């Protein structure tokens, strides 16, 4: 990173190449705990008797995330719903049942109290739906112009499900790659709502909890080897992260990607690639080939339009992702480079 280029850029927060560089060369250089080195959506930590009253081997799962989305209200959700769903989803795809959340608010002076109440109500409702309790919080108010309306940090604690056997080391050649529904909806929805763009694309965010879907997949499909939610950086960046961490190649079939016509058209107008648009209610799963159809059936039970799909397979390799195009070509997919869409989560 050459000492972070001298200053932080917006692209350092987009989940792509610069974010990875920042994490690898700065944060991990100082925060060296093995649980963090995994760079998963959440960390699995095992309590031992000498750490307190918990019984030996209690497998806790912990995650934290911050939400700075603009605008804070959008079709299909708001920053409060996003903060809860984003955190419980990180726990769910890591194989955990979400139990507790904490929330920290940074609020700009002048932010309407009615909007704050709407955000808090939304958080309470979605935490209840996800089965998690909000048990601690903090509020800071900063002067006008020192923040943009409201930022929220949420930390989640869950308990690892007994059947969960997930990990990058389990991914191998022949495994199938599945996505639980249409991609790119959230990223394009948020962008279309920003002032000045005037886009009327009729796409809602897919923001929702994945807790029930992840639980059923783990309980009913022993061949589930890994799950991730493709948020910042979209599907392409998530697949690249999986390929790098598992030291395999992944090939995706363009013709099998579930992308809604409205999303494809809107992205084309704006010069964006749907593969790099954020999702907030979808998961990617790597599944043993003989159980892929079973996993697909479960995903489609949670996808109203039955848009879940087997989109590709794992190959022998060393961290590359390829898109086999509809006309027979092959395109190399890398981590997102540059801020395609800042502040979408």
**pLDDT, position 4:** 46
**pLDDT, position 39:** 80
**pLDDT, position 50:** 65
**pLDDT, position 53:** 54
SS3 43: strand
The CA-CA-CA angle for residues 248, 250, 256, to 5°, reads 160
Count the residues in the chain: 345
191-196 long-range CB contacts below 8 Å, 24 or more apart? 191/270, 191/272, 191/341, 191/344, 192/266, 193/71, 193/74, 193/75, 194/70, 194/71
- How many whole angstroms separate alpha carbon 18 and alpha carbon 10? 9
What the block records as the tokens of 218 is 């783990």
pTM above 0.95, yes or no: no
Q: What is the DSSP letter of 25?
A: I
- Please list the ranges in the chain whose pLDDT falls under 70: 1-5, 48-57, 195-199, 338-340
What the block records as the tokens of 129 is 């739906």
Beta carbons of 331 and 325 less than 8 angstroms apart: yes
- How many whole angstroms separate alpha carbon 173 and alpha carbon 317? 8
- Write the Ramachandran bin of 234: left for phi over 0, alpha for psi from -120 to 50, otherwise beta: left
**pLDDT, position 58:** 74
């Amino acid at each position: 990173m050459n000492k972070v280029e001298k200053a932080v850029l917006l692209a350092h927060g987009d989940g792509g190449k610069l974010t990875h560089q920042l994490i690898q060369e700065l944060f991990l250089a100082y925060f060296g705990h093995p649980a963090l080195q995994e760079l998963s959506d959440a960390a699995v930590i095992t309590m031992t008797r000498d750490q307190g009253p918990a019984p030996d081997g209690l497998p806790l799962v912990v995650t934290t995330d911050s939400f700075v989305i603009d605008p804070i209200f959008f079709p299909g959700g708001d920053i409060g719903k996003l903060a809860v769903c984003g955190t419980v989803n990180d726990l769910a795809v890591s194989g955990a049942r979400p139990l507790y959340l904490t929330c920290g608010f940074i609020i700009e002076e002048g932010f309407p109290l009615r909007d704050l109440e709407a955000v808090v109500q939304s958080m309470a409702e979605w935490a209840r739906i996800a089965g998690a309790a909000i048990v601690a919080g903090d509020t800071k108010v900063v002067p006008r112009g020192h923040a943009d309306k409201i930022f929220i940090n949420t930390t989640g604690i869950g308990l690892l499900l007994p059947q969960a056997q997930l990990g990058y080391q389990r991914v191998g050649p022949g495994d199938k790659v599945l996505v639980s529904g249409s991609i790119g909806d959230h990223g394009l929805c948020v962008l279309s709502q920003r002032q000045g763009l005037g886009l009327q694309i009729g796409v809602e965010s897919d923001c929702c909890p994945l807790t029930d879907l992840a639980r059923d997949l783990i309980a009913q499909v022993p061949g589930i080897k890994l799950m991730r939610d493709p948020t910042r950086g979209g599907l392409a960046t998530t697949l690249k992260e999986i390929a790098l961490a598992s030291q395999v190649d992944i090939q995706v079939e363009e013709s099998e990607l579930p992308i809604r016509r409205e999303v494809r058209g809107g992205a084309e107008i704006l010069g964006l690639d749907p593969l790099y648009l954020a999702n907030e209610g979808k998961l990617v799963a790597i599944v043993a080939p003989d159980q892929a159809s079973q996993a697909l059936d479960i995903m489609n039970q949670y996808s109203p339009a039955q848009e879940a799909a087997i989109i590709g397979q794992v190959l022998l390799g060393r961290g590359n992702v390829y898109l086999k195009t509809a006309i027979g070509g092959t395109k190399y997919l890398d981590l997102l480079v540059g801020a395609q869409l800042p502040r979408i989560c």
